[in-house]
Structure 1
């Protein structure tokens, strides 16, 4: 298999490969504006006509260039060895940060698997974490119920429809006329959707055992999440037929089920072996997947802030036109998470203009309880930094903290670097 490797947000030219350049240009022209990760193709690759350069988006993962010719594109993180699994696990400590994870991570389960180097991504542990978190969200909202068909031999009573052929065969023929074979509908949680999920959860236990090393420090946390999910499915049977898997219809009202069922089906069909490893373990095959790193960073920062400041941090609250990442009304503070490593040594004026606009928005100032129109609203930018903080202090964000630095040339503009977890080689 041939695959091309890039780094997220990397720019490159293909003047020496006209065939591949034309192919990419055709694919980019055909592509509609993606509204979700599901619609993103070629890992968000785009083209700058003025510079005659292609450039990658802030996505990491793998996608097919041409599945028939076994050509794929793999995009690696710009922060070397970043542990996106730990970042995702951190999000699970905060309910809002763990909502709508399809905006962070998406797998094209029906596509042909791509062969990748096992050192590039550890995806199977991430898949387990993602699925079990989805199931726990379902559990918190409550399992859906549905009508299921029951067939039962009842003693001296009738329920639903009498199955005459069975009744004649078992009742009259054996001299037990009081025993009536009935078919009836029962409304409970043992519906096909829940049976599919429980079957997949049982395979997940095998996957957890198989990938203990990849889960590392998160093994105990994930096992607790798994036990919590399984306990809610105690009264659900684990049997599901192939016909039920193929012909299930999902109700659009149950968003979590619409996310979880396709993953569960893939886990069941592959009997828990969603990653196909070579015998020597240096390569594996996995369906195309994509991770939106800026959104993951934003959720990770939110989990860190929520851990210390709790409800005093408002997430994604603003107006229709202006929506900063975070607001802290008790300090009249606007906070934005920027997945830009260059913020450590440089000033991104576009980011400054964006937050300055937020600070002048009447709707946002109203949410920050700022009544004086002449008051300057403080702004804080949080960016990734290998030498940054690992957690926020439980004090005022504007306190004399050595990690918070004023931005030169701007009034009440500050920045702080957050250290991202990395995978340490053995």
Structure 2
């Protein structure tokens, strides 16, 4: 079983030595990770955002995680796991943080993560990759219990008995001296359809890459149901052949989304690397925004409030034409009196020890613009809360012209109370 090296956001790896404040990586693993970062930097400038490389005197090269969480699986079985910075809290266990990440992923739209169920999974004993494999296994298990779906498959072959229609060109070519055979084309109703081929290919891929004995055993058991199914030889072609509107395949929807992630790297962000088997990395800014928006959407009274995510109603300038689109994370409107509330999520840990608590000046400029252009009754900056950060929980900045920006905190391990308090202010 490969080893897992774990850090939190903004934690750092160093090569071949143990130094307090850094996580040690063997030389070959450090080199592979460095190559992976540089390769993605050359391919896409923005891709470097998940990690950077620097040099420190007396230490050498340092690889530092940024605001991404997830896993990088190396082909030798080694796993790099990055968890949110809130894991540094002494009263927060690794299992609680992983469950939180799963809950956040469930709120992403058009993704398989909506089906994540971790109640029966020992998340503290599995890295994120193994949890994802477990989720895929559970989806395929449901499909197998109901029975694999079948489709008509067009088959060309030499047969002893005539069926379907004769392929005359092939008959002349292959059976000139074998009059007893018929080269024919016919449709056969079987389970060898693109959906099942992709599921089988995913199971085979995961069987080779999982380090969990339970996952491996369950995949082996599931493969017995796919004995009559071929492996996919062209993932992209088979995904394109799937008819999305086919109601008979609705049970496959989530499992196939997982397959696309595992087989084609179609995750939240796509990465590549010659020695990398798999990479699933998620920007915490997006996860935090999606999570808070979903919580508000589910808890706001829909008859009294409307909610818009990534709203595109206004531009900063209107003349001579509209320029510089404003796109606040969450816009809540009171249907009764048309009062508008702007909420912007920021994945950043504030501190009373920092200048302006660590709130960025550009964020304040942005909120000021939202307040003016939307004629908002209130604008609120939302940050994650941790016990170690001592900041006034009802912080508010006011200008002489009446503009004000509130700063509020979401306790991610007590979200119900945080969201209720937030809704109370609207």
TM-score by length of 2: 0.51
Specify the alignment match of 2:230 in structure 1: 241
Structure 1 residue corresponding to 2:110, chosen from 99, 105, 109: 99
Query: Does the 8 Å CA contact 1:336/1:380 hold for their aligned counterparts?
Result: yes
Specify the alignment match of 1:413 in structure 2: 405
* Corresponding position: 1:328 with 2:308: no
Specify the alignment match of 1:109 in structure 2: none
For 1:329 and 1:144, how far apart are their aligned partners in 2? 48
Check 1:29–1:88 CA distance in 2 against 1; reply closer, same or farther (3 A cut). Answer: closer
Specify the alignment match of 2:132 in structure 1: 126
For 1:122 and 1:44, how far apart are their aligned partners in 2? 18
Specify the alignment match of 2:103 in structure 1: 90
Instruction: After TM superposition, list the pairs within 5 Å mapping 1:260-339 onto structure 2.
Output: 260-261=259-260, 263=262, 287-309=278-300, 312-318=306-312, 321-330=325-334, 331-339=339-347
Shift in Å, 1:240: 3.2
Task: Could you tell me which runs of 5 or more consecutive residues in structure 2 were left unpaired when the two chains were aligned.
Answer: 20-26, 88-92, 114-123, 143-148, 216-221, 245-252, 266-275, 315-323, 415-426
Shift in Å, 1:124: 0.7
Give CA-to-partner distance per residue, 1:5-39, whole Å, 9 cap, x none: 6541247999x99x999x96996598237477xx4
Instruction: After TM superposition, list the pairs within 5 Å mapping 1:23-422 onto structure 2.
Output: 31-32=41-42, 34=44, 39-40=47-48, 43-45=50-52, 55-63=64-72, 75-80=82-87, 81=93, 83=96, 85-91=98-104, 97-100=108-111, 121-129=127-135, 148-149=154-155, 158-159=164-165, 161=167, 182-185=184-187, 191-197=193-199, 200=202, 210=214, 239-242=228-231, 244-245=232-233, 249=237, 260-261=259-260, 263=262, 287-309=278-300, 312-318=306-312, 321-330=325-334, 331-342=339-350, 346=357, 348-350=359-361, 351-361=363-373, 365=374, 375-386=375-386, 405-409=394-398, 411-421=403-413
For 2:141 and 2:330, how far apart are their aligned partners in 1? 28
Specify the alignment match of 1:8 in structure 2: 9
Check 1:340–1:377 CA distance in 2 against 1; reply closer, same or farther (3 A cut). Answer: same
Q: Which has the higher contact order (CA 8 A, sep 6+)?
A: 1
Number of residue pairs the alignment of both structures matches = 315
Shift in Å, 1:192: 2.0
> Is the partner of 2:42 in helix, strand or coil?
coil
Shift in Å, 1:183: 2.5
Query: Does the 8 Å CA contact 2:69/2:82 hold for their aligned counterparts?
Result: yes
For 1:382 and 1:47, how far apart are their aligned partners in 2? 31
Give CA-to-partner distance per residue, 1:379-399, whole Å, 9 cap, x none: 1122212469xxxxxxxxxxx
Specify the alignment match of 2:417 in structure 1: none
> Is the partner of 2:350 in helix, strand or coil?
helix
Give CA-to-partner distance per residue, 1:214-271, whole Å, 9 cap, x none: xxxxxxxxxxxxxxxx9xxxxx9774334x34676356698986862462699xxxxx
Task: Could you tell me which runs of 5 or more consecutive residues in structure 1 were left unpaired when the two chains were aligned.
Answer: 103-117, 137-142, 174-179, 212-229, 231-235, 267-284, 366-374, 389-402
Shift in Å, 1:354: 2.2
For 2:263 and 2:153, how far apart are their aligned partners in 1? 21
Query: Does the 8 Å CA contact 2:153/2:189 hold for their aligned counterparts?
Result: yes
- The CA RMSD measured in Å over matched residues stands at 6.2
For 1:251 and 1:184, how far apart are their aligned partners in 2? 23
> Is the partner of 1:329 in helix, strand or coil?
strand
> Is the partner of 1:342 in helix, strand or coil?
coil
Check 1:11–1:200 CA distance in 2 against 1; reply closer, same or farther (3 A cut). Answer: closer
> Is the partner of 2:409 in helix, strand or coil?
strand
For 2:330 and 2:406, how far apart are their aligned partners in 1? 14
Specify the alignment match of 2:90 in structure 1: none
For 2:204 and 2:240, how far apart are their aligned partners in 1? 26
Check 1:326–1:132 CA distance in 2 against 1; reply closer, same or farther (3 A cut). Answer: farther
Check 1:56–1:199 CA distance in 2 against 1; reply closer, same or farther (3 A cut). Answer: closer
Check 1:181–1:353 CA distance in 2 against 1; reply closer, same or farther (3 A cut). Answer: same
> Is the partner of 1:407 in helix, strand or coil?
strand
Check 1:149–1:158 CA distance in 2 against 1; reply closer, same or farther (3 A cut). Answer: closer
